[in-house]
Structure 1
Amino acid sequence: MDFQFDDDVIEYMVDFFGRRKLFDDIKCLLKTIVAHKGQVSSKALSICIRFLGREGRVDEALSLFDEMESVFGCKPDNLVCNNVLYVLCKKQSSEEMIELALSIFHKIESPDTYSCSNMIVGLCRLGRFEAALEIFRKMDKVGVHPTRSAMNVLIGDLCLMSSKEGSVEKVKVTNTRRPYSILVPNMGGNRAAIQPAVEVFSAVVNSGLLPSTYVVFRLMSELCRLGNTGEALKVLRIVEEKKLTCVDEGYSIVMKALCDHRRVEEAGKLFGRMLEIGFKPKLVVYNSVISMLCKLGDLDNANGVFEIMNKNRCTPDSLTYIALIHAYCECKNWKVAYELLMEMLSLGWIPHFHTYNLVDSLLREHDQFDLSVKLERKLENQKLLKLCKEGQLDAAYEKVKLMLENGVRLSAYARDTFKHEFQRSGKLEIAHELLEMTQRVHEPQRVQETKKLTELD
């Protein structure tokens, strides 16, 4: 009938068939149009290439791209090239495909955001970061910006490369009769990769973009790991200026790094700023600051931070107490060390043997034998409670026997808990004799305590 479809109708039909994966029908449609001297637009062909790529039919997509000029008389534009690069770089990444993608990319007169972004992602997947950075720098010069996903991939992969420990160095051993060389793992990772990551981050921020929260955290964490806290602080300031919700976590990452590297002045300023602007520091921040101050022997400020922590209702953990206890033991302050350890035990935290032994030795050194006995009793009762709550009844039974043999008195709460757990598990008869023994041991002690109180009256 010599009727010619216009471009919009053909593009709609190609899209319709592509969504339903009717690729044979698309071929038939395109051949029919060409056979009747019709015109196929580059947009219709780009739609077809995109759907073929999504289904993994890469060879067919490339064949269609090659036939554009010879069969359809249509010159590839940016839209077509972008879809081909998407197929080659994102759907089928390999050295062969990337080389083909680069040859297509270099033929584009004015690469746009999507052309460059597809190439960056594909090159990063194969670890060709130098080529990816070269494309990014050219984009920056001409004012073309990458997509957010490409930016995340580039910065994230550079940080990952920086943290990898797979690289090795050749070291020559000369202190033997016959010198030889060995390969030693580079435990510091590839430090050279972090600077380009910072460069990309600064460039995209200046253009008004910002990577994802995950990538920002990864960048700050890697900078802190490498001891580059100055750059990490710059990234944190940018995050704060943009008023992102991740700023609180960013403060925690940088604060921990500053404390680990004992950058006291910077850590103090940053901690003060957190409190000033209303942030509630996390437990890891408080622990880092207290640990740093304790190691430096600044117990006044460490105690001040501990008070702020309690005021802000941040519950301390065993690490908080251990840092303070060791610091007070170092300066021979047995009273505070004992009080802190007793408080720690009251909260259910069981100290390491070294921590307990340090306080116990300090008490004995200052002739505080009564407090030493009290501390031992508290510790043993807490261990018993822990075993009971964890359901380790056999171990709890042996623990009570050992406590009785060593003359350590059970607290009323520990005894009741022990009895309750055995009763609940139907094993009260087994523990009955042991409970009677604890009662016989406790009775004389109660009488003795009553006599002492009467004498005092």
Structure 2
Amino acid sequence: MLLRLSNKLLNISIASLCRSKQLEKAEAAIIDGIRLGVLPDVVTYNTLIIGYCRLVNFDAGYSVIHRMKEAGIAPDVVTYNSLMAGATRQRSLPGCFDMLEEMLEMGIFPDIWSYNTLMNCLFKYGKPGEAYRVFHDIILTDMSPSQATISIMINGLCRNGYIRRALSLFRNLQQHGYVPELVTYNILINGLCKSKKWEDTMNLFEELKESGQAPNAITYTTVMKCCFRCKHLEEGLEIFKEMKSKGYAHDLFSYCTVVAALLKSGCIRDANNCIAHMVKIGYDLDIVSYNTLINLYCKLGDLENAYNLFNVAEGKGLECDTYTHTILIDGLCKSGNIDAAQRHLNYMKEMGFNCLVAYNCFIDGLCKVGRFNYALRVFHSMDVRDSFTYSSLIHNLCKERRYRLAAELLLSCIKSGMKILKSDRRAVVKGLLVTCSKTDVNNFKLQMRTAKILYY
């Protein structure tokens, strides 16, 4: 009895250490246990396999099997299920099949979780047809599919774009006595929402409520987002009211979703009232929330309200980050207010922020208003550039039909060891074909290939 209790304590310790990402300490605990006469069992090694698969990789998890066999402990179905899950996490379909085959060779019969994991891997690998066949094989055997099996199947079909097939499977299973759980409804509602099938989403939402199951915060938020995405503002606001009446609208995300929908619909006053209400009821907006709202106002060209929110955030003592300032600079550039964008960029530099993305926005803004020479001066003054810096300038130069200069920048980008976008390369080559001789174009292509060999 003492030994059994000690094994249990050892396994609990190993599981805790693996969850806290302390694999070295987990290994040390096993060694200490052996010294004290507490030998690890199959549960110990299975726990260690799960830890290595999650924190290192599948190969590290698989190496534990050899240690199990050396210790005289035979792997079981949980061992191979854990390894299949590890292979799935790495999107290694061959690894998943290898584990299934090895399991069968050892005389270990797969259980429902073995097939669940295989189906999940097939879906992640983009093979919904094969996953469907595995599901069909489960139905034909004495092995009954679990709720998890059905959820994996429906979720996989939705993620692979087979939303109608997922809905058809759902209905077919219901006809055969399947009573879906809330999680399955949520998966299907989310899939319908992403496919912008608003009527089907609302019908399923009503069906869920009539089934006696209570929708949760995830359900309401998904349905509300679907309404807004499909431009059914009034219905979305009604869902939001229902959320509040049920006690679910207590997070910033739901309120920010409503504000975003109101702003996109041009209901600026209502959006401002919603923000004021958030503040009034005691929501302490963090900088991420402010950034989201500032970005929405900038996209609508409402820089006055964007700066009002910026000032409110600073007034509350929040530290506006690089993202905040970059949003405002981008908004100023898109509104054509280049001088104000320049001043804000200078302020950003003085405050010691990383200005790379802001510079990229500024250069793009300069090009959009036709100030290419100034954009080039800013570009050459930058100490640090990335592929987007080059891409923005190259793209705008091609629009201006300045293909030779764009070609020089493209080569410079390659020689800096940065990846170039295929669209930029195509635009430059296409432009050179129109303005230059075929020999010049071929020389340019040769220079590109040589630069890639030398600098990549």
TM-score (norm 1): 0.41
TM-score (norm 2): 0.41
